[in-house]
Amino acid sequence: MVHAQFTSNVPRSASVSRHLDSVASLPRLLHSLHDPNSVLSLSADADHIFTGSQCFDISVWDKKSFTYKTSLVGHTGSILALEYAEDKKWLFSSSGDSSVRIWSTTALTPIYVLTPYLETGAGDLFSLAWSPTLQTIYIGCQNTSLQWFDFGKNIDSRKAHKFFDSYPQFERRPADINAMNGIMTSPMTIVDSDGCVQHASAPSPRGFLQVPASNVIDSAHYGYVYCMALLPSTGEVSDDSPLPVDGSTQLVTGSGDEAVKLWDCSSSGLSLLHTFECCHGAVLSIVVHGETIYAGCQDGYIKVWDLEMKTLVREIIVQECVDVLSLSMMHNDLYSCSANGKVQRWSSSFDCTATWSAHNGIVLSSIITRNGPDQFCLISGANDGYINIWDIAPPVKIQHETACHIASSDDRTINDTMDYALSKFVSIPSVSSDPSHREDCRQAAIWLKKCLSQLGANSTLLSTDEGVNPLVLATFRGSQGKHATPRPRVLFYGHYDVISAPPEGWSSDPFLLSGRNGYFYGRGVTDNKGPILAAACAAAELLGRRQLELDLVFLIEGEEETGSNGFGEAVRRHKDAIGHIDAILVSNSTWIAEEPPCITYGLRGVVHSTLEISSSAPDLHSGVEGGAAAEPMLDMVNLLAKLTDDNRRVTIPKFYDHVRPQTQDETQLYSLLSTITQRPASSLSSRWREPSLTVHNIEVSGPKNSTVIPGKITASVSIRIVPDQDLDTIVNSLTSHIKSSFKNLNSPNKLEVSIDHTADWWLGNLDDPWFKALEGAIRDEWGVDPLRIREGGSIPSVPYLEKEFDCHALHLPLGQSSDQAHLPNERISLSNLRRGKSVIERFLLSVANTIPNTTI
């Protein structure tokens, strides 16, 4: 067994989907704390639960015994937000009294009072976010401003406050930071008619601070700034990386103007990066996880945004017209709290996995905190006066979300890195044809972007059409080398999506990389995840040796297995970001046999069409209407029969007129390949260089039993085309021929013809210096001349990329004929994977030094 350790440390499924039939029981109510007032805000540290209400005080509860401990006194307005700063052991509280107070969570005493710029003119302070990296507190205000205070810069340079730092009026002295107005260590309490505790005075803090005018963005939104969150997210239940790759901090804010804004945070302040338009009412709550923003809206929607691509990923409808007032995140699980008193749990695939009535009122706030070494709880607060504590379990940790650290070990060879990365890549079931795996595809793109970054590339995600999986763009930049001219730029094209893998027929879990007898087994290992990582590791190794003297640009799509939807439009839209390209390298097919190695130089094109014949009548009974009705099935049978003749040749007029004749060199090649494969040369020729027509299926309406005349018949028909057939001409000829044949039937039924997908043929240039360099690299690695082969299948993106970038494409297959791509037990040879990486290294070295400048 080879590398069997990969089967022991990856979960059976790394899908973000949680199967609804195996959902755990609803969270258990551990305890309830009663407060006679509406609970507007919550926070917690290791020992305490802090609750803020509309009656001015912050209640402190013992986290282990669930008993009331004390109150933090000083605000004169509702406690709208609480933020715990673990690094400082501080609690920030903001209020309707237009102040932020800072408390020691160890001594439970006040430290500072922070007033915003314009003081009460800022209005209610709805939201807070603390950045431990920048030592800065950010404040969202009712007057639509964003304000911040840097405790590293401003703490020692505060100015006297006209109220807090004033002397008694009779002394007629100007304000002074040493005045400490209103010092009183034993506050007098009064209870009003609503049960709110009123304090005549409060213990004085250590000092009084004010946001400077320079730390304000007026009209940051066109509405109240209700909520905010920092990226990366912090806290005891966050599994985000401590900092993004570039070390930046970003702030996300939500407002009554129905917008979410993304801000770059630095020591010099805030700068707007992007605005997301939610268009579903005020944004009342926000939480972030990884590269994803979740925004809870006024009308019962949660908008899910991808930060990298700045695109909407999903709309979650919690309950229409019921406000989503609080969101909390537990690793991959999202908890939404609504105005109807309900809490719902959502998986990373956006399935609702739990719903329960948490309160007899409006749930206004929630947090998730630890309740022990391996215990977690969701705390919810509502206007029913209760703080409920729910026992929750974290979801099974998704390996691929945090497994991008593939190159951290100094003693790991590049082959070890490639094998390890492949185990993580395969574990993501990025099945593009299945809507339930849509989020898995996005996570695969995110994982691959991080993987390529760690290998040394500059990586990003490129947006596509809504509902279409993103592209991964990554560039390994080489040194200038010996040339004064620009570096050559090679584009490696591949795809991270895979076809479905039902477990029947597999000897091991298809989404768990298994090593057996010199092969890796798993869906996607040969098509196309293994070759992608082989090329990436080749570039990384050359980069590490300072021998990469060209740019290798990766363009990896996520829709190849479903027809490359939106690929062409996305490439055109992002062509400037991709840059100039001199040659295209593809590795997405197999050899003709187990050995020797091969190089592919041709692909057939394809036209997929759907034919539909329907009658004006519904499904009929054959015993009643048989013989009287013009049956659509008989029309379809006659129509399909007219597509080919008795010799199985396609009968479309002039179909074969432009098929390129076979050359003498090709005849000799097919004779050689026939000897190696033990197949007739005519069979190889038919599969590779001759066009064909296939009827794939026929579907009928109705119950499909033998007494029914179906009212509608649908058939799928495809044509494979070859050089020099013109794609558009073939499409038009096929449509015209079908319609003409149907017209000759004189049928009263109706025919519809649709062209569902097309791809052009591709033929490489065997005399091109790029082709010669790749062929030579294969020869040097294996010690034999590679076989020149063609493929009967189609890769739509290859001829498209050639035309778009006006350069030649090259195709290096790494799989063997027995690799079972698209079938159970898909596999790839470790030898082929590693030697394929070496071939790519040789090729990159060769073209950087030998391709003439005229081709660059």
Catalytic residues: 497, 560
Partners of 490 in beta bridges: 552, 583
Question: What is the three-class DSSP state of 200?
Answer: coil
Token pair, residue 528, equals 């196309």
Token pair, residue 340, equals 């109807």
**Any idea which residue has 């020729």 for tokens?**
685
- What's the one-letter identity of residue 310? K
Write the CB contacts of 841 (distance below 8 Å, at least 6 apart in sequence). Answer: 538, 541, 542
Token pair, residue 629, equals 């009705």
Partners of 489 in beta bridges: 551
Partners of 431 in beta bridges: 498
Rounded CA-CA distance 429/13 in Å is 8
Rounded CA-CA distance 468/254 in Å is 26
Number of Cβ atoms within 10 Å of the Cβ of 618: 11
Write the CB contacts of 464 (distance below 8 Å, at least 6 apart in sequence). Answer: 470, 471, 559, 566, 567, 569, 570
Rounded CA-CA distance 253/229 in Å is 7
Instruction: Tell which residue, 526, 542, 435, 554, has the closest CA to residue 825.
Output: 526
Rounded CA-CA distance 84/795 in Å is 54
Write the CB contacts of 348 (distance below 8 Å, at least 6 apart in sequence). Answer: 16, 17, 18, 332, 333, 395, 398, 439, 443
Token pair, residue 29, equals 């109510």
Rounded CA-CA distance 60/63 in Å is 9
Rounded CA-CA distance 502/429 in Å is 11
Instruction: Indicate the burial class of 856 (C-beta count within 10 angstroms; 0-12, 13-18, 19 or more).
Output: middle
Would you give the DSSP letter of residue 251? E
Instruction: Tell which residue, 353, 318, 354, has the closest CA to residue 339.
Output: 318
Question: What is the three-class DSSP state of 378?
Answer: strand
